[in-house]
Amino acid sequence: MLKNNIFREISDEQFLEIASNAVEGDWQQTLEMRNYLHSSNWDTYLMGLVDENNNPIMASLIFGKKIFAGYRMELTHGPLYKEFSMDNYVEYLEGLKKFAKEKNALEFYIRPNVTFQMFNDQGETTSESNDMFLEMMEKEGFKKIPSDDMNNYEWRYVKNLNDFDQKTLFKSFTKDGQYSIKKTKQFGVRVRSLSYEELPNFKKVTEHTAERRGYDDKSLEYYQDIYNIFGDKAEFLVAEINLKDYKDNLIANQNDLKTKLADIEEFLVKTPNSRKKNNQKKEVVSEISTYDKRISEADELIEEHGKNDILLSVALFIYSSTETVYLFSGTYDKYKRFYAPFAIQEYALNKTLANNVPVYNFYGISGKFDGSDGVLGFKTNFSGYITQKVGEFVYYPKPAKKKVIDFAKSITGRN
């Protein structure tokens, strides 16, 4: 173990030096998140491992808050590092434990941004499991916490954008993904950034989606804080459609099909037994009929909303030099036929590519590969891969005191 390294508080500049060049960065390990936590009445600390010349080797944002008869501390998706070293990690954990004791912490939770195993879209393993890291954490006194569906820190869906350009990126999507994106263009779905004043509209959509799927949405104040604190590193996107333009596009596309049908029928007058042309005729007639239905639906929407823009879907993205994170989203169920979430993803993916950011992180999935995870089903349209992080761990700096307090809490009924 390297004895000249020191675990101590570091400056903003030292933290940024690591965070901007980290092997695996994370939006929760940023100065913006530090500012958000501080505004939410958490104590925050920038701690790191530095060498004998005061150069940062590892960096982390740690936060804490008083709890019943003690102090709770957390480190989410860190520490960060430019290059992984087990020796450095052990030395960092040793310093972390000492720091937790100095702060009189009753419990310390850490969720390392370290990959345990990788999988393809079918849930088949594509790498060896990182058992060595789990063994090291256990040896250092950090107990693994079993994950559950409502509090899962482990599973992510990711796409590496290295070696893509805009054209090859689109071709990398599945056929269903390409089809859905093409449809959004045919319908005239537009994507733009929301202003601060429009955040209540964002909240309405995410709240609708949360109620439909059975989870708790973030508060409007949370979204407003993220908007203000993260600045241009956070983007609240909306996909919308103008109903008049939508109907005009439908009519124009249907007219193109009618012209195509006329050409086919003219050909069949001369060659009535052409199997190829007869099959094409059936397909075109079917498509024209589909457009009749969509035009009728457009008329119903225009009657309800007028010839105005209507909001279809929203999403929040966090940008950094190391990755783009697709954080939260929502879609009005009655507008699913517009494929609006695909338009938002294409926008954010192309922006990430244009900014030369190497990783597009679709973020959380359930870790279930039996077809029950609709979120995973949507994300696989963009042909990425699955990573399982090592999970969540807890360390008790003063285990005897922890047992006494837990016993007292069980008697008094306090949490």
pLDDT by residue for the chain (415 residues), tens only, comes to 446 899 999 999 999 999 999 988 899 999 999 999 999 999 999 999 999 999 999 999 999 999 877 899 999 999 999 999 999 999 999 999 999 999 999 999 999 999 999 999 988 999 999 999 999 999 999 999 987 654 556 899 999 999 999 999 999 999 999 999 999 998 999 999 999 999 999 999 999 999 988 888 999 999 999 999 999 999 999 999 999 999 998 999 999 999 999 989 888 888 888 888 899 889 999 999 999 999 999 998 998 888 778 999 999 999 998 999 999 999 998 899 999 999 999 999 999 999 999 999 999 888 888 888 888 999 999 999 999 999 999 999 986 566 655 555 556 555 5
What span, in angstroms and rounded, lies between the C-alpha atoms of 143 and 391? 11
pLDDT score recorded for residue 1: 47
Domains in the chain and their CATH numbers? 6-146+390-412 (3.40.630.30), 158-243+309-389 (3.40.630.30), 246-305 (1.20.58)
What span, in angstroms and rounded, lies between the C-alpha atoms of 306 and 247? 12
What span, in angstroms and rounded, lies between the C-alpha atoms of 204 and 223? 12
pLDDT score recorded for residue 395: 96
According to DSSP, the β-strands at 80-81 and 392-395 are: unpaired
What span, in angstroms and rounded, lies between the C-alpha atoms of 195 and 197? 5
pLDDT tens profile 354-387: 999 999 999 988 888 888 888 899 999 999 999 9
Distances (CA, A) of 172 to 168, 381, 384: 6, 9, 9
Residue 71 burial (C-beta neighbours within 10 Å; 0-12, 13-18, 19+): middle
Q: Please count the other Cβ atoms lying within 10 Å of the Cβ belonging to residue 336.
A: 12
Distances (CA, A) of 97 to 15, 46, 93, 342: 20, 15, 6, 45
Angle CA 333–337–343, to nearest 5: 95
Residue 208: CB partners within 8 Å, gap ≥ 6? 330, 332, 333
pTM above 0.95, yes or no: no
DSSP helix/strand/coil, 69: coil
